[in-house]
Amino acid sequence: MVEPLKKNTRLEKRKGPVMLVIMDGVGYGKYEKGDGFKAAMTETLDELMSTCPTVKLKAHGKAVGLPSDDDMGNSEVGHNAIGCGRVFSQGAKLVSESIKTNTMFTGETWKKLTSNCSSKNSTMHFIGLLSDGNVHSHIDHLKAMITKAKEAGVKNVRIHALLDGRDVGETSALDYFDPFDEFCKEISTDGFCAKIASGGGRMVITMDRYNANWNMVKLGWETHVLGEGKTFGSAHEAIETLREETGAIDQDLPPFVIAEDGKPVGTIEDGDSVVFFNFRGDRSLEITKAFESGDDFSEFDRKRVPNVEYAGMMEYDGDLHIPNQYLVTPPAIDRTMGEYLAASGVKTFAISETQKYGHVTYFFNGNKLGKFDEKLETYEEILSDVVPFEQRPCMKCAEITDRVIEVIESGEYDFIRLNYPNGDMVGHTGVFEAVVCSMEGLDLSIGRLKKAIEKAGGVMLITADHGNSDDMFEHDKKTGEVKKGASGKPKAKTSHSLNPVPCIVYDPAGKGEYKSELKEGLGISSLAATTIEFLGFEPPEDYDPSVLEF
Give the separation between CA 395 and CA 421, rounded to whole angstroms.
8
Going by C-alpha positions, the residue among 453, 357, 454 that lies closest to residue 396 is 357
Which residues, in sequence order, are CB contacts of 133 under 8 Å at separation 6+?
72, 164, 166, 167, 168, 495
Strands 193-201 and 256-260: antiparallel
Give the separation between CA 147 and CA 424, rounded to whole angstroms.
35
H or E, element range at 3: none
Positive or negative, the CA dihedral 130, 132, 137, 143 is positive
First to last CA, the chain: 30
Where would I find the beta strands (DSSP E) of 133-203? 156-163, 193-201
CB-side neighbour CA atoms (13 Å) of 96: 17
Which residues, in sequence order, are CB contacts of 123 under 8 Å at separation 6+?
117, 156, 157, 158, 266, 268, 269, 272, 273
Where would I find the beta strands (DSSP E) of 340-444? 348-353, 377-382, 415-420
- The three-class DSSP label of residue 473 is strand
Residue pair 333/76 in contact by the 8 Å Cβ criterion: no
Any bridge partners for residue 490, and if so which?
A: 484
Residue pair 501/28 in contact by the 8 Å Cβ criterion: yes
Give the separation between CA 14 and CA 181, rounded to whole angstroms.
60
DSSP 223: I
- The three-class DSSP label of residue 97 is helix
- 98 as an active site residue: the answer is no
Where would I find the beta strands (DSSP E) of 136-213? 156-163, 193-201
Going by C-alpha positions, the residue among 407, 401, 410, 350 that lies closest to residue 380 is 350
DSSP 16: S
Give the separation between CA 6 and CA 55, rounded to whole angstroms.
27
The single residue of 50, 68, 75, 526 carrying the catalytic annotation is: 75
Going by C-alpha positions, the residue among 146, 128, 142 that lies closest to residue 193 is 146
Q: Among all residues, which ones are annotated catalytic?
A: 75
